[in-house]
Amino acid sequence: MNIHSTAIVSSKAELGANVSVGPFCIIDADVKIGANTRIGPHVTILPFTTIGAGCTIHDNAVMGGLPQDLAFKAETVSYVRIGANCVIREGVTVHRGTKPETETVVGDGCFLMVNSHVAHNCRLANGVILVNGALLAGYVEVGERAIVSGNAVVHQFCRIGKLTMISGNGAISKDLPPFCTVRSSSVNNIAGLNVIGMRRNGYAAPERQAIKKAFHTLFQSGLNVSQATAKIRAESSSAPVLEFCEFIEQSKRGICRFGGQADKNVGQEESDK
C-alpha cells in the first residue's frame, strides 16, 4: 500500500492490498477500496462508497457526493458502488442514492471520461463509456457497452439499451432501445442501428439481419408499437430480437423515434448488402 503523506485517509476506511493514494486525497469513513486500485491526486471519496479492484481514478474526481435532490435528507444512508477495473478520469462526479438504502451503481470495466456526471440512483451495466461532459440525470439506467458521447445529456428515469450510442451533443428524454443510435445535436431522434458495434461485439450476420428487420418493423411499417412488437415476436425467436422487444415493452416513458439515417452507413454494412 502506498499512501502519500499529504493524503487524509480515515481510520474507518478499508483499503485493499496494493492500493495507491496520491497527494491531497481525502478518503472518508465507511469507504471500501479494492486491491490494486490507483487513486490520483486531489481525489475525494466520501462515505458509503465502495470501489472495486483494479480501478484507476484520476485527479479531482469526487465519488459518493450527496445527491442534487431537494428532497434528500442529510441523515439518509445511501450508497455508491463502483465495480472492478473501471477508469474514472479527471473531474468525474458520481452521487449516491437519494432515498434511504438506495444506491448508485457503476458496473465492471466502465470508462467515465473527463467531467462526466452520474447522478443519484443511476445504474450503469458493465463496459459503459461516458465521453467527456456526458451528463446522466437521476435514475437513468444504461445497458452493457453503451456509449454516451461528449456533452450528451440524458433526462431522469430514462433507460438506455445495450450497445447503443448517443452521439456528441445528443439528448434523450425517452427510452433508447438496444442497438440504436442517436445522432448529434438532436433530441429523441434515432438515426439508425449501431451495426458496427454489434459486429465488433460478436453478433453474427444473421443476428444483425434479424435486428435490422425488427427495427424496420418497429419504425417503418406503419404499425403502432404494440402491433409492431407482436409482429416482431411472431417472426423471430432470435435472442437479440427478443431483448429488443422486451426493452420496448417495459418502457414507461415511451421510446425515441426514428428520424431517418444520419448517413448511408448508419444501419448498413458492406457485408450485409
Residue 65 CA to residue 13 CA, distance in Å, equals: 16
Instruction: Over range 142-159, report the average pLDDT.
Output: 98
SS3 137: coil
pLDDT in tens, 55-94: 999 999 999 999 999 999 999 999 999 999 999 999 999 9
pLDDT in tens, 224-242: 999 999 999 999 999 999 9
Answer with the residue of higher pLDDT: 224 or 265: 224
| Phi, psi torsion values for 55, nearest 5 degrees | -85, 160
Find residue 141's DSSP bridge partners: 123, 159
User: Among candidates 177, 133, 131, 139, which has minimal Cα distance to 155?
Assistant: 139
Neighbours of 155 (CB within 10 A): 18
Whole-structure pTM value: 0.92
Contacts of 128 (CB under 8 A, 6+ apart): 106, 107, 110, 111, 142, 143, 144, 145, 146, 147, 148
List the domains of the chain with CATH numbers: 2-139 (2.160.10.10)
